[in-house]
């Protein structure tokens, strides 16, 4: 895929709004069984008497869906070479079967790499909303991008 966005294109304040993705009960249970088999992620019956009142998605699945939304929206057209990590990941509201999620990615800051002149990091605020515009997940994440013009 052709590179449309290099490190220089991520200017503070730039916002990307993704399309949406809906999570079915089957999606939730399949992920839960593999990666987060707490009963409120895998068993709709037992989940009814949990603190959440019903089946909810693993917070890690919600984050992974956000990553997919980001890829489909713009990330696959960038010079991204991975991520060093993230901070302040907060699961703010449960995600239930049938919820439709979308993500807003806002550039906070872009820094050239101290060690490698051909790349730089970008810090983002990633926010995932449900169909009622309620915030379900917030993250401060960083990604590495190759520069269009090395320093």
Only segment of 8-16, 29-37, 98-106, 123-131 that touches another protein (CB under 8 A):
29-37
Q: Which of 11, 19, 45, 84 binds another protein (CB under 8 A)?
A: 84
The neighbouring-strand residues paired with 5 are 78
- Asked if residues 142 and 124 have their Cβ atoms less than 8 Å apart, the reply is yes
Please say whether the dihedral angle defined by the alpha carbons of residues 124, 104, 88 and 143, taken in this order, is positive or negative.
Answer: negative
> Does the footprint of another protein cover residue 43 (CB under 8 A)?
no
> Does the footprint of another protein cover residue 4 (CB under 8 A)?
no
Burial of 80 (C-beta count, 10 Å sphere; 0-12/13-18/19+): buried
Q: Which of 90, 100, 111, 134 binds another protein (CB under 8 A)?
A: 90
Site for another protein in 96-125 (CB under 8 A): none
Report how far residue 72's alpha carbon sits from residue 106's, in angstroms, rounded to the nearest whole number: 16
> Does the footprint of another protein cover residue 59 (CB under 8 A)?
yes
- Asked if residues 36 and 58 have their Cβ atoms less than 8 Å apart, the reply is yes
Q: Which of 35, 53, 131, 134 binds another protein (CB under 8 A)?
A: 35
Residues 6+ apart with CB under 8 A from 19: 69, 72, 73, 102
> Does the footprint of another protein cover residue 73 (CB under 8 A)?
no
Q: Which of 47, 63, 101, 122 binds another protein (CB under 8 A)?
A: 63
Residues that bind another protein (CB under 8 A): 31, 34-38, 40, 51-52, 58-61, 63-65, 67-68, 71, 75-76, 80-91
């Amino acid at each position: 895929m052709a590179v449309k966005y290099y490190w220089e294109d991520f200017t503070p304040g730039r916002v990307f709004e993704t399309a949406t993705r809906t999570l079915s009960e089957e999606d939730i249970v399949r992920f839960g069984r593999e990666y987060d088999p707490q009963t409120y992620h895998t068993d709709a019956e037992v989940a009814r008497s949990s603190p959440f009142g019903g089946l909810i998605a693993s917070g890690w699945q919600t984050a992974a869906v956000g990553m997919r939304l980001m890829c489909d929206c713009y990330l696959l057209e960038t010079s991204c070479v991975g991520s060093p990590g993230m901070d302040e990941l907060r699961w703010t509201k449960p995600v239930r079967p049938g919820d439709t999620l979308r993500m807003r990615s806002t550039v906070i800051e872009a820094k050239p790499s101290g060690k490698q002149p051909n790349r730089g990091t970008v810090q983002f605020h990633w926010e995932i909303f449900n169909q009622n515009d309620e915030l379900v997940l917030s993250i401060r994440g960083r990604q590495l991008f190759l520069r269009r013009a090395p320093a």
